[in-house]
Amino acid sequence: MRIVLWHGYLLGGTGSNVYTRALALEWSRLGHEVTVVCQERNAERYDIGAARVVVPELPGRLLPVFVLDDYDGLEPKLLQCFLLLSGSLLGAVLKGRMLE
């Protein structure tokens, strides 16, 4: 089976980063073709089995985060700031105007 794990952050640290690594490792060990989409530029530091990592370029190297920290090569901004800026778009999607 082909599996894509869409994880918008890095692979180090805690929480969903650890969970994403564990899923990638276990599913690849089970023989699945796993692709992890994330912002980790040094994926070789982590044991994710045979999973492939894809790092999309973010506009302006911006990275929406919950916690401000040092992210090598990226410009972190609090997620709350992005939500405020994209509120009208989100509202349109929720009302079904963007789903045609």
| pLDDT, tens digit, 9 for 90 and up, residues 11-39 | 998 899 999 999 999 999 999 999 999 88
What confidence score (pLDDT) does residue 46 get?
97
Tokens of 88: 């009208």
**Structural domain of residue 89, as residue ranges?**
60-100
The mean of the pLDDT values for the chain is 82
**The pTM of the whole model exceeds 0.75:** no
Domain co-membership, 76 together with 52:
no
Verify that 2 and 35 share a domain, yes or no. Answer: yes
The residue with tokens 């405020």 is 84
Q: What's the start-to-end Cα distance of the chain, in Å?
A: 30
* Cα dihedral 19, 20, 21, 26 in deg (nearest 10): 90
- Residues 37 and 16 reside in one and the same domain: yes
Residues making up the chain, counted from first to last: 100
- Verify that 50 and 65 share a domain, yes or no: no
> How far is residue 48's CA from residue 21's CA, in Å, rounded to a whole number?
6
